[in-house]
Structure 1
Amino acid sequence: MIYKEENFGEALRRLRTARGMSVRQLAELARISKTKIGVMEHGDGRNVDPRDAEQLDLVLESGITLATAVRRARTTALSIATCALLTGPNRYTDLARILLTAEIESSGDDAVERRTFLHAGLILPALTLEATRHGIGAAMTHRDEVSVDEWQEIVSEHGQNYMTMPPHDLLEVLMIDMVAIQYAATRVRDAAGVRDLQRASAMLAALTAFTVSNLGRLREARRWWRTARTLADESTDPVARNWVRGSEVVRALYEQRPVDSVVTMAGRYEQELGDLTRVATPTLLGGKAEALALAGRAQEADSSLIELEEACANLPKAAGAQGASALEWHDFSLGFTRSYVHSFNGNYPEAEKAQDAAIALYPAGLTRGPATIRLQRALCVAEVGAAAEAARDARAILESLPAADHIRPIVGLSHQVLNAIPASAGSLPEVREYREFLAAPRQIG
């Protein structure tokens, strides 16, 4: 345990003292020189070899206390150094140098250290390359221009990439642009340009929330949602404000938030937006209908679904299969919500029709939405008592998906199918095999 305001050196000294050890005794047990330990006890940990920290944790029986302190110190130091460079005349070159140094230090066999930088959102090789690109452009043209239109195109690309790109890969490119857009924001002076960048940032932050949630990092996702809402509100753009809030409601159903709180959230956002709930992307109406169905409020869910259908009738047609994007409302979006509402309302005949119709609307290259709908069907099958069929179908659905598509919503729903199977059917071979299949370790996304 790290005490409040305690750095690595202080933690090491406290742990050693608590064990009644001298520096010499600790040095002998850990096979680290006495001088080196003395230096460690007076430092913040940023220059400590993580392997030494792990060895000290082992000797002092302190879990991962010191190893965690080293990672925190390194991440903090890199963040402070990066922020200090943001306003310098050679900020891109300096940033590339720092990132390159960090990349070299973490590129060895130390997988734990590598994961530390990844977890901090610093995908080092790609960020280094992007910082270098900005630097050469600024140095050779003697200009530092920002194209707001280019940022809108970048956001659009990410919206399309989200539909098919593995979450780990998408997070990398998102982080590159989240860093780059911060530079851009320091160089825009007119109010309209600032609002446009705020809108683009809101969409990027929301897509980041989607992506880290898909990876199972739910606490981080909630922080990204807060940032996305703030940026959308600052932009004053009605479409961004609506889409961000609606998307958060939909995703909250998969992020282990209590369903009653999600219904309350949807109602609060509806009040905040007023008539804006029908602007461009009626995602909030869809999220509200799904939340009500999951909460067991079938009649209200049906009413919300009708309201959604009326709003969709007045929308312009979204892009075709090649332009399918997480940022837009498509025909298959409405089909998905119909399937969801009827499935969780227990209206199984309507659910089956809605499922078939929704799957038919998806372009051939999109697999996650249809897989989710098929899992909804397996859930319905489990609810009506066909346990073996439900387990067999759900497993087949998951096995047909590439590992990168085993994102949080799909994994969560696959467990819901298992939970819907009555205990009395638990000994069936299909159910037992499905349970073992879900229990096997696998990486989300």
Structure 2
Amino acid sequence: MAHYFGALIRDLRDSYELRVGEPLTVAQLSIRTGYSPSMLGAIERGESLPESGLRVQSIDDALHADGQLKTLWPVVQRLGHCPIDDLASTTNRATESYRENGSSTLLHGDDMERRHLFQLATLGLLAQAPIFGAGEPIRQLLEQSLQTSEGHTIDDWEAVCAHHLYAVNNQPPAKVRDDLLVDLLAVQRSLANATPAQAGELHRITAWLSCLQGNLLTRLGEYGAARRWWTTARHAADASPDRDMQVWVRGSEAVFGLYTPRATESILLLSRKAQQLAGERVTPGLIGAVCAEAQALAVSGHREKALERLNRLHELAGRSVNRQEFGWNPGSMWFTTSWVHSFSGTSEAAREARDRAASSMGYQDQANVRLHEAIHLSNEGGHNEGLQLAAQVIATLEPTYLTHMILHTARMVLDTVPIEKRADLPALGDYRSALDAPVPN
């Protein structure tokens, strides 16, 4: 737990500039918290822990962590330097004892305490979510006593993935986070007891759910955590026998990387690796990878190359492909077309693509398509009109649906305005006020 706690502090410091708007060095954090830089380094590495809740509160305040560290601290105090893997092993042993001896046998001592503290950490505080209000730990204990907690078939897991995919695309991200993390924990438990024949399919499910978690965390602006989940998704996909899943994970990561601080070159590299892995087989993953490449080229000003990849995208989408696989939506092709033409195409082509995309997309992409129009307006010289439209799009969204991906696209509108012209734009004030709106997390 100490290593997890330290890694969380490090992530909060690394992401400080993205969240607050200015960098935070270890030296600055040292001044704000009263810790020496060397002690802060030891805490971030999990070698030491703060000595009191008051010191944790000072770190939480300095990092603008909104209570994350303070909430986790009681569990960290109890578990100290015990590795989470050891806790999981203890939990599994306790569960087996529970099953073998029956529900009348009570757990005692450290095993009982660690079992329940592990559930507290994994089901509640590590997710930063009020799962206890829904009775999730009690439900899982009941499933264990009924010996049904590992009873999901692959078809069941496919339905779970489809459910989460729909939820991510249609519900506020903060609302989806709790259930998704619970099912990620459940599939991990299934993997721990799987036969070799089952493991390959469960790796595929793990990749799918991890990919959705990366999607969700990108929407929430937790870019460091999202990057690690994408890595897990790739590892799980590569451990599965499903080449299409391997391609889809990489193509999806490339698409979502467009909305993070990643360099354009890294997105292009990831996209091209996915295309190389796909070969000649046309799948949603391949099409997603080409989408990412075309968008990255358009943003970086490579107009002709972006249009060439857009033509390739339309050619692939016109060929035989299982459009239902992984929730593939043909609107994704038109979304990319809207993006590319907003940066480097004609007004007529951009308008047609926006109209065709908006009718089949979720709330986030619908908002972003309208922001594509704002980008195109500004690129055509209508800077004030573009800022006005962007401010309107943001202002009309319910706060719980305002994601960091939408804000990322909205900021691109201002990027199209020459610096020397910005001060004279009447819409600039409303635009900046809209972008400063708090984003639920």
The normalised TM-score by structure 1 is 0.74
Per the alignment, residue 434 of structure 1 pairs with 431
Of 160, 185, 199, 2:166 maps to: 160
User: Alpha carbons of 1:311 and 1:56: their partners in 2 closer, same or farther (altered >3 Å)?
Assistant: closer
AA partner of residue 397 (structure 1):
V
Written as runs of structure 1 = structure 2, the 5 A alignment for 1:32-181 is 45=49, 50-51=53-54, 54=57, 73-74=76-77, 77=82, 79=84, 82-90=87-95, 118=125, 120-121=126-127, 123=129, 125-126=131-132, 129-141=135-147, 145-181=151-187
- Tell me, yes or no, if the aligned pair for 1:213 and 1:255 is still in contact at 8 Å: yes
Per the alignment, residue 350 of structure 1 pairs with 349
User: Alpha carbons of 1:358 and 1:194: their partners in 2 closer, same or farther (altered >3 Å)?
Assistant: same
Per the alignment, residue 23 of structure 1 pairs with none
- Secondary structure of the residue that 1:275 maps to in structure 2? coil
Between stretches 123-132 and 427-436, larger displacement belongs to 123-132
Counterparts of 1:361 and 1:145, CA distance in 2: 35
Per the alignment, residue 333 of structure 1 pairs with 332
User: Alpha carbons of 1:275 and 1:426: their partners in 2 closer, same or farther (altered >3 Å)?
Assistant: same
- Secondary structure of the residue that 1:132 maps to in structure 2? helix
Q: Percent identity?
A: 23
- Secondary structure of the residue that 1:268 maps to in structure 2? helix
Counterparts of 1:306 and 1:57, CA distance in 2: 49
Say what the alpha-carbon RMSD is for the aligned residues. 3.8
Between stretches 238-247 and 279-288, larger displacement belongs to 279-288
Counterparts of 2:425 and 2:243, CA distance in 1: 52
Per the alignment, residue 184 of structure 1 pairs with 190
Find out whether 1:305 has 2:310 as its counterpart: yes
Written as runs of structure 1 = structure 2, the 5 A alignment for 1:266-285 is 266-276=271-281, 278-281=282-285, 282-285=287-290
Unaligned runs of 5+ residues in structure 2 are 7-32, 37-46, 62-66, 99-106
User: Alpha carbons of 1:102 and 1:443: their partners in 2 closer, same or farther (altered >3 Å)?
Assistant: farther
Per the alignment, residue 421 of structure 2 pairs with 424
Counterparts of 2:155 and 2:400, CA distance in 1: 31
Counterparts of 1:333 and 1:53, CA distance in 2: 44
Unaligned runs of 5+ residues in structure 1 are 7-14, 19-42, 59-63, 107-115, 320-324
Count how many residue pairs are aligned between Structure 1 and Structure 2: 380
Counterparts of 1:97 and 1:128, CA distance in 2: 22
User: Alpha carbons of 1:225 and 1:420: their partners in 2 closer, same or farther (altered >3 Å)?
Assistant: same
Larger Cα-atom Rg: 1
User: Alpha carbons of 1:196 and 1:417: their partners in 2 closer, same or farther (altered >3 Å)?
Assistant: same
**Cα displacement (A) at 1:134:** 3.4
Per the alignment, residue 253 of structure 1 pairs with 258
Per the alignment, residue 392 of structure 1 pairs with 388
Written as runs of structure 1 = structure 2, the 5 A alignment for 1:364-403 is 366-403=362-399
Written as runs of structure 1 = structure 2, the 5 A alignment for 1:286-325 is 286-316=291-321, 318=323
User: Alpha carbons of 1:102 and 1:249: their partners in 2 closer, same or farther (altered >3 Å)?
Assistant: closer
Written as runs of structure 1 = structure 2, the 5 A alignment for 1:176-255 is 176-191=182-197, 193-255=198-260
**Cα displacement (A) at 1:328:** 2.1
Partner deviation per Cα, 1:119-175 (whole Å, 9 max, x = no partner): x33646359844433332332358954422211111111111111121112111111
Counterparts of 1:170 and 1:256, CA distance in 2: 24
